[in-house]
């Protein structure tokens, strides 16, 4: 039988944190309550009308052993890195950056009127690929397939597949799905997810009902909240009186040891110390 709906196991209220040179963020993964959802290591939501909350940005900093995925809803982040990429990530764009052995980059939100809004997700790399050559996929909003269903449900497919429509982000080890889903009032959305894969939903507009098909298992989730799902075959979400917009993210767990220190996530403490030594010695960027 392929018909088991996934239950909501945990609902996470984001924590307010300061990161970079002083950027105010809402963090749901990489907190005391939720260290990770293997293979996902961190999830940040930035959203503010006040440039003071983000203007200091994230000046040049290193990463090793992970992928960072930036998805912008509103506003612009300028970036540049040690493998020669530079440019801007605007509304609806995605940057899927694989740090591998080491990248240095700057991520600087640009001041603007109105809201600066987006997300950053960290995806783990398996031990055998942590020291891979860095790489970078820059996806513009126009490259992202958008499904507009007759019932008003709207799905932007960033990674993974919905009804034969594939997202533009490919060749990622975690076999990820990354969808931006909007459900109008009284609408519903179901999506199959491979058994054993980790899944979370991040509600960032409105509220929706998530979980299994019986009332006692359903949960009403209002923005901003992250829902962690248990195992099963599919995810179901419903909008009642209000519309709901959320990210639906899934991936294949690595089941490896995780040792993290700031922007480095490796398997062992020795590997973290090596990253710090490489930074001191000027041998951090290898490619
Ligand atoms: Mn970064």
Ligand 1 centroid – CA 58 distance (Å) = 7
pLDDT tens-digit series, residues 82-105: 999 999 999 999 999 999 999 999
Q: Look at residue 175 and tell me whether its pLDDT is greater than 70.
A: yes
Distance between Cα 267 and ligand 1 center (Å): 19
Of residues 112 and 80, more confidence is placed in 80
Instruction: Give this prediction's pTM.
Output: 0.96
The predicted-structure confidence for 120-165, as pLDDT tens digits, reads as follows 999 999 999 999 999 989 999 999 999 999 999 999 999 999 999 9
What is residue 286's predicted lDDT score, i.e. its pLDDT? 85
All domains of the chain in start order, with CATH: 8-281 (2.60.120.10)
Asked if the model's pLDDT at residue 56 lies above 80, the reply is: yes
Q: How far is the CA of 115 from the centre of ligand 1 (A)?
A: 21
**Model confidence over 185-235: pLDDT tens digits?**
999 999 999 999 999 999 999 999 999 777 777 899 999 999 999 999 999
DSSP the chain: ---PBPPEEEEEPPEEEEETTTEEEEEEESSSS---BTTEEEEEEEEES-GGGTTT-EEEEEEBSEEEEEEEEES-EEEEETTS-EEEE-TT-EEEEE-TT-EEEEEEEPP-SS-EEEEEEEEE--GGGTTSPPEEEEE-GGGSEEEE-TTS-EEEEEESEETTEEPSB---TT--EEEEEEE-TT-EEEEE--TT-EEEEEEEEEEEEES-SSGGG-EEEESSEEEEE-SSSEEEEE--SS-EEEEEEEE-------EEETTEEESSHHHHHHHHHHHHHT-----
107 Cα–ligand 1 center, Å: 7
% of the chain exceeding 90 in pLDDT = 91
Output the CA 5–ligand 1 centroid distance in Å. Answer: 35
Averaged pLDDT, 19-26: 95
Per-residue pLDDT tens digits for 100-132: 999 999 999 998 888 999 999 999 999 999 999
Whether 1 has a pLDDT exceeding 60, the answer reads: no
* 74 Cα to the center of ligand 1, angstroms: 19
Q: Look at residue 8 in the predicted model and tell me its pLDDT.
A: 95
Q: How far is the CA of 137 from the centre of ligand 1 (A)?
A: 14
- Ligand 1 center to 196 CA (angstroms): 29
Question: Which pLDDT score, from 0 to 100, does residue 2 have?
Answer: 61
């Amino acid at each position: 039988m392929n018909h088991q709906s996934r239950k909501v196991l945990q609902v996470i209220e984001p924590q307010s944190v300061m990161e970079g040179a002083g950027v105010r963020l809402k963090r749901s993964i990489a907190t005391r309550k939720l260290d990770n959802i293997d293979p996902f290591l961190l999830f940040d939501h930035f959203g503010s009308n006040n440039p003071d909350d983000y203007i200091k940005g994230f000046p040049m900093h290193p990463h090793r052993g992970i992928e960072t995925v930036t998805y912008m809803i509103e506003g612009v982040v300028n970036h540049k890195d040690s493998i020669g990429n530079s440019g801007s990530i605007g509304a609806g764009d995605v940057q899927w950056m694989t740090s591998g052995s080491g990248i240095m980059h700057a991520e600087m939100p640009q001041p603007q009127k109105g809201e600066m809004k987006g997300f950053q997700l960290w995806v783990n790399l398996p031990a055998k690929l942590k020291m891979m050559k860095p790489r970078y996929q820059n996806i513009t909003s126009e490259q992202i397939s958008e499904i507009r269903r007759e019932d008003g449900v709207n799905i932007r497919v960033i990674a993974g597949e919905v009804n034969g429509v594939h997202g533009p982000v490919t060749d990622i080890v975690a076999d990820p799905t990354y969808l931006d889903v909007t459900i109008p009032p009284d609408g519903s959305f179901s999506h199959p997810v491979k058994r054993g894969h980790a899944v979370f939903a991040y509600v960032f507009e409105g509220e929706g009902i998530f979980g299994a098909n019986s009332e006692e298992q359903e949960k009403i989730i209002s923005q901003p909240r992250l829902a962690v799902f248990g195992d099963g075959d599919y995810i179901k979400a419903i909008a009642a009186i209000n519309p709901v917009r959320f990210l639906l993210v899934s991936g294949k767990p690595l089941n490896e040891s995780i040792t993290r220190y700031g922007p480095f996530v490796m398997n062992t403490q020795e590997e973290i110390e090596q990253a710090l030594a490489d930074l001191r010695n000027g041998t951090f960027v290898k490619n």
